[in-house]
A = this chain, B = another copy of it.
């Protein structure tokens, strides 16, 4: 392919890889999307001008560009496309902390955990915390508008993005927003690019708002006989309170996590809630008391509270280990359905019923305080019937979320694995509007084709 030689020549040595082993390495994100193609090249850009050069080349030849951060996405948003290039931002990892402005200026390949660590050196904090924060990139976080455990009190990625540099579909580099906190000059373009999953442009720099480090939290752990009972406690708490964390694990997850790395969790519990308060002074005890009372009213079989942050972190780490722990049990289909908080018990009950009907194991964890759940559908690789039942359950869960007025994705993104259900959630008119914006920004459709739309 002559055009490919041109790309290799355009960029410095070592930036463009075309060897089969590298191409294979960049086909999948963590979703292991079976529809992933094989790229013709992987471009590991070192700066924005190289991103521009690659996109200009792709635009000239009409070649698909799949942007990629750390490859930890769970919806196939970074699945390679046959005949396209993968544009990896993994080498662009600079982080600069501006303490006077309380912002981090970050390149997209930097890991979330690296931004947190750099901020912490200055007593500052970047709140959004996907469970994968140690291995996911800020670029991916921006692309999916990533959430996490602290969102219930501290919000999601979009709440912290003040500015973006973006390479558009024709290679133009634009700068949006800045270090100023309030700015309503022109359309909210920063917000439009956050969550656009690489379909509208490629982020080459983000200005992220930082806040003071939170206080060490108090942690409450409550056991329930059922996930629905635990969810009812969540609904009651959220009528009056925003704890700094409110996570749920069902029995299957508890046992998977204990098998994976034993921490002494109660394997007989139907569900565990892990709730934290980082409120200052006496407000902390008051918040924990509200949570405790709600758990008891919802029939908690055991409630324990600790002010020791390390002991608390042990439970949170157990919760974060859910994906890798369940992954040890088979191949996975990962859900990310959500609903309004009061609907959480119904949504979790629906997932249990779907697991029963299709005879599929579906361990479930949830950012319960936000109504966002992660049913993890387990199947046996190579067993066609197991996989068929898993896929049927996957689709049924998406349908249940929509039926309950919820969403097919709370924080992972639509990517490729959930896009078939998107029109059912958004409806024809919103899909048409989405298409109009996509066409306006990427008329040739080269940016992450097949994702979202």
Contacts and interface: CB of A to CB of B under 8 A. Distances in A.
Nearest to A425: B185
A150 to B, nearest CB: 12
Interface in A99-153: 99-102, 123, 144-145, 147, 151-152
A433 B168 contact: yes
A445 interface: no
Contacts of A192: 187-188, 191-192, 437
User: What is the interface of chain A mostly: helix, strand, loop, or mixed?
Assistant: loop
B239 A145 contact: no
Contacts of A100: 235, 239, 341-342
A404 to B, nearest CB: 10
Contacts of A436: 440-441
A155 B162 CA distance: 12
Interface in A389-444: 405-414, 418, 422, 425-427, 429-431, 433-434, 436-441
Interface residues of A, number: 87
B434 A189 contact: yes
Contacts of A407: 178, 180, 182-185
B185 A194 contact: no
Interface stretch (A268-276, A279-287, A313-321): A279-287
A123 B182 CA distance: 28
B281 A181 contact: no
A399 B154 CA distance: 35
A188 B158 contact: yes
A101 B187 contact: no
A188 B191 contact: yes
Nearest to A155: B159
A186 B212 CA distance: 32
